[in-house]
Structure 1
């Protein structure tokens, strides 16, 4: 096999290996979110996925905003979830102003800060 063919084959094998390798910790991914109206406001359950590596790099917060940017509530995550991915955490008692029928959820990790992802969630009282 020629040197050029061998180099090409090696590059294909390396590309496949890197594509199959698990991603390293980067931005937090908001996988899912649910909201439920309660007597004390709204309760949110948010599913996050992040390549937590330990105390030095982990998903540490998610927040609920109105579409115009007003912070309604936040859930601080006090420890890494290395062995629990994805994971769900909840926040209750969030007061959503009258007339707001959609919220935006954002998440953050301890290294990269707030993820560019904005998860839009429609609010419907059941």
Structure 2
């Protein structure tokens, strides 16, 4: 019985590599009303409901989430694609935010984009 468990244990312990994480191709921020609007362009080899880019988020440099844009369906025929998130409240004095994307299979990507926020928007 041990010889059958050992391959399973080794397979579970092996690190998983992100084969195709979502890539942030472009990100922009602009003042919008009382908050900020973020436009983010992603590229990901969506294969359908089983594997697709399913979100991106706006973070402070220390990792606090300011907003999340959930993507409700795959975009296998629309690559790259841009989606927006409005009314994001950014703390006064914060001049940089971090954007990162998520895939429904591999989770949050290690790739991030840092955006500088101009005081006037």
Fold in common (TM above 0.5): yes
The answer for unaligned runs of 5 or more in structure 2 is: 1-18
Does residue 54 of structure 1 match 2:48? Answer: yes
**After superposition, where does 1:76-91 map in structure 2 within 5 Å?**
76-91=70-85
Q: TM-score, normalised by structure 1?
A: 0.79
Deviation at 1:40, TM superposition (A): 2.6
Does residue 66 of structure 1 match 2:60? Answer: yes
Aligned residue number for residue 38 of structure 1: 32
Does residue 117 of structure 1 match 2:95? Answer: no
Pick from 97, 101, 113 the counterpart of residue 95 of structure 2. Answer: 101
Which structure has the highest helix share of the two? Answer: 1
List, as ranges, runs of 4+ consecutive aligned residues in structure 1 with deviation greater than 2 Å.
none
CA RMSD of superposed structures (Å): 1.0
Give CA deviations for 1:30-70 in whole Å, capped at 9, x if unaligned.
00000001223000000000000000000000000001111
Which structure has the highest strand share of the two? Answer: 2
Q: Quick check: which has more Rg, 1 or 2?
A: 1
